[in-house]
Amino acid sequence: MRLTVVGGGYVGLVSGACFSHIGHEVLVVEKVKEKVKMLREGKSPIYEPGLEDLIKEGISKGTLHFTDDLKEGVKFSDVIFICVGTPPRADGSADLSHVEEVVRTVARNMDSYKVIVEKSTVPVGTHRLIERVVRLYLRDDIPFEVASNPEFLREGFAVKDFLEPFRIVVGVNSEKAKRIFEEIYRPITQKGYPLLITDPATAEIIKYASNAFLATKISFINMVADLCEKVGGDVEAVAKGMGYDPRIGDKFLKAGVGYGGSCLPKDVKAFIKTAKDFGLDFGLLEEVEKINASRVQKLVEKLERILLVLSGKEITVWGLTFKPGTDDVREAPSLRVIPELLKRGAKVKAYDPKGIDNFRSIFKEGHDLRFFTDKYEALKGSHALVILTEWDEFKEADLERVRELLEAPVIVDGRNIFDPEEIRNLGFEYECMGRCHDRENYLSLQRKC
């Protein structure tokens, strides 16, 4: 089939390249001309494992094309996937202005039946808003349908998640649209991957509900981590014990400095706002946000407790992206930790394998914030190392060399990548999240018992 994908970001570019890979002819519409030029040369503007290879493959086969002209995209196919950003507003609601702009242009240029597909994450009821916009700007009585096909792509694993999905969710209102999606995804579903066909409203809710539940698991285990620190427990063992229960599972039970990225924070806020708009109380998710926000303060307090004073100290930060395997720093803990360190008078030396350029676009380098291209070089003379992303290269670091380069052998590990006993035996003062108990509280508890 011929497919149009509007938006050349993470979702649109991965979707377009993967649709091409499974046999469809795809036109990706990206309004930034510089990105289109890169893409036509087979270069990916984002870091995502395996993506650039698929782009080159599609170009070579002649099944993947790029343009900055949305009108061309409307003429190209009868199925148009909307993959543009829906950033949060100040009140937590999703900003649908980019979606509305695309739909308006589609409506004005339609000359035949179209299926307009929400792939961007949007609040429940957005399909009705899209229908209203189309009817408002449609010049002739042309048939169309609006469908929901939310994405479930993990950055760093996006290509694999598209081609080997846990599930494909599609919301439609007609048998015709259902058959179209069955044909689009047949190369994947015939391998045994499940396709759930439902109505658009349900599909929209599934996306938000899924991300909100994952965020809840993360905040839950971080809440448990706080208790572990007070009583001498090990949150890693607690999570393992919980995870053996198939009703719970072991995924997203990783204590640390909190969740980030372009999805979970935004989607939790939007889900809360949607509930309020319908007169519902999603207080549970408000607590999820509260717990997540408190992680940064707890991490900085751990560092301050060891060093006593942060003002004038040099602190090395390893990890700027919200997770390994991506260059994405959106809503990453580093965006809150580093400003907090700077506010307390520390000088920060930062390193990340992939995220420096994106981080530098938000925080400019200066006297108190410097970026390094070598993780060991960033350690020289620092009073502590703070770990915010669990990149494999950090887990495999030469710890003897780390200790020699640091001014003081201090590590505050926001991702629990090391074993506390082993690293302390190497001579480090080591603090982590939920595994290194608060000794004073622990001794106090022992006395009470």
The one-digit pLDDT tens for each residue of the chain (449 residues) are 999 999 999 999 999 999 999 999 999 999 999 999 999 999 999 999 999 999 999 999 999 999 999 999 999 999 999 999 998 899 989 999 999 999 999 999 999 999 999 999 999 999 999 999 999 999 889 999 999 999 999 999 999 999 999 999 999 999 999 999 999 999 999 999 999 999 999 999 999 999 999 999 999 999 999 999 999 999 999 999 999 999 999 999 999 999 999 889 999 999 999 999 999 999 999 999 999 999 999 999 999 999 999 999 999 999 999 999 999 999 999 999 999 999 999 999 999 999 999 999 999 998 899 999 999 999 999 999 999 999 999 999 999 999 999 999 999 999 999 999 999 999 999 999 998 655 555 445 455 54
* Coil, helix or strand at residue 397: coil
What pLDDT is recorded for position 262? 84
Of 83, 263, 432, 436, the catalytic one is: 263
Q: Which of 132, 165, 198 is the last residue of a domain?
A: 165
Question: DSSP H helical segments within 190-316, as ranges?
Answer: 200-231, 235-243, 264-277, 283-307
Residues 6+ apart with CB under 8 A from 403: 409, 426, 427, 428
Contact 53, 89 (CB under 8 A): no
Contact 315, 380 (CB under 8 A): no
Residues 6+ apart with CB under 8 A from 345: 310, 311, 312, 313
Residue 129 shares a structural domain with residue 223 = no
How far apart are the C-alpha atoms of 201 and 148, rounded to whole Å? 8
Residue 371 has which token pair?
Answer: 């970026």
How far apart are the C-alpha atoms of 354 and 346, rounded to whole Å? 24
Residue 299 identity (one-letter amino acid):
L
- Residue 141 pairs in a beta bridge with none
Residue 230 identity (one-letter amino acid):
K
Contact 389, 415 (CB under 8 A): yes
263 given a catalytic annotation: yes
Provide the 8-state DSSP code for 88.
B
Residue 176 identity (one-letter amino acid):
K
pTM of the model: 0.90
Count the domains in the chain: 2
The DSSP H or E segment spanning 347 is strand 347-351
Residue 243 shares a structural domain with residue 142 = no
Is 203 inside any structural domain?
no
The DSSP H or E segment spanning 315 is strand 314-318
Q: Which of 104, 136, 165 is the last residue of a domain?
A: 165
Residue 215 sits in a domain whose CATH number is: 3.40.50.720
Is 188 inside any structural domain?
no
Which residues form the domain of 78? 2-165
CA distances from 27 to 36, 71, 249 (A): 11, 12, 39
Is 176 inside any structural domain?
no
Is 448 inside any structural domain?
no
Residue 151 shares a structural domain with residue 225 = no
How far apart are the C-alpha atoms of 350 and 177, rounded to whole Å? 50
Contact 51, 44 (CB under 8 A): yes
Residue 289 has which token pair?
Answer: 């946000």
What pLDDT is recorded for position 327? 93
Is 306 inside any structural domain?
yes
